[in-house]
Amino acid sequence: MAQKRPFDFDDAVRRQARLRQFGLCAHCGDSLADQWEEAHHAIPNQSGDPNNPAHAWLRTVDNCVVLCDLCHHVAHAENTRTGAVAPPEFYEHSHGQDRVRHAAWAARLNLQAALLWGSKVSNPGRRK
C-alpha cells in the first residue's frame, strides 16, 4: 500500500467536490460518468507544512476539484512531482455552470495561497 501524503483527500471530500461540480470535470465541463477521474489539489499539496495546523485547508473540499484524466494531465503539464501549474481560474466548472460561485471560490483560494506562500518566503531570521 502506498504511503499517504499529509494533505491527501479522503473519500468524503472527493464526493463533496464531485457533487459541488454536479458530476462535471472542473476544467472541461464534460460529464465524469464513465470516465477515469482524479481528485486534484487546486493549490498544490506540496505548498503546505504538515506540521502547521493553519495549512489543514489544503486537504478540504474547498481545495479539491475533480478532473477527468485528460484534464488532470493538462493541469499538471505532465508535472506531478511539484504540483500543478494551473491557477484556480483554470477549473472554470468548479461549481458546475455557476460562474459567480466559481469566481468567488477562485478569489478565496488565490488569497489563501498568497498568504500561505507569503509565510513560506518570509525570512524569520532577519530583523527589520
In a domain? residue 127: no
50: pLDDT strictly greater than 50 = yes
Please provide the average confidence, as pLDDT, over all residues in the chain. Answer: 87
Asked whether residue 47 is assigned to any structural domain, the reply reads yes
Q: Is residue 125 part of a domain?
A: no
The parent domain of residue 110 ranges over 11-117
> Has residue 122 been placed in a domain?
no
What per-residue confidence (pLDDT) applies to 83? 62
pTM of the predicted protein model: 0.85
Q: Is residue 85 part of a domain?
A: yes
Confidence of residue 86 (pLDDT cuts 50, 70, 90): confident
Tens of pLDDT, residue by residue over 8-41, are 999 999 999 999 999 999 999 999 999 999 999 9
Q: 22 lies in a domain? A: yes
User: For residue 104, what pLDDT is reported?
Assistant: 97
- Assess whether pLDDT exceeds 70 at residue 125: no
Residue 53 to residue 49: CA distance in whole angstroms = 8
Residue 69 covered by a domain: yes
Number of domains forming the structure of the chain: 1
* Sign for the pseudo-dihedral over CA of 115, 52, 106, 88: positive
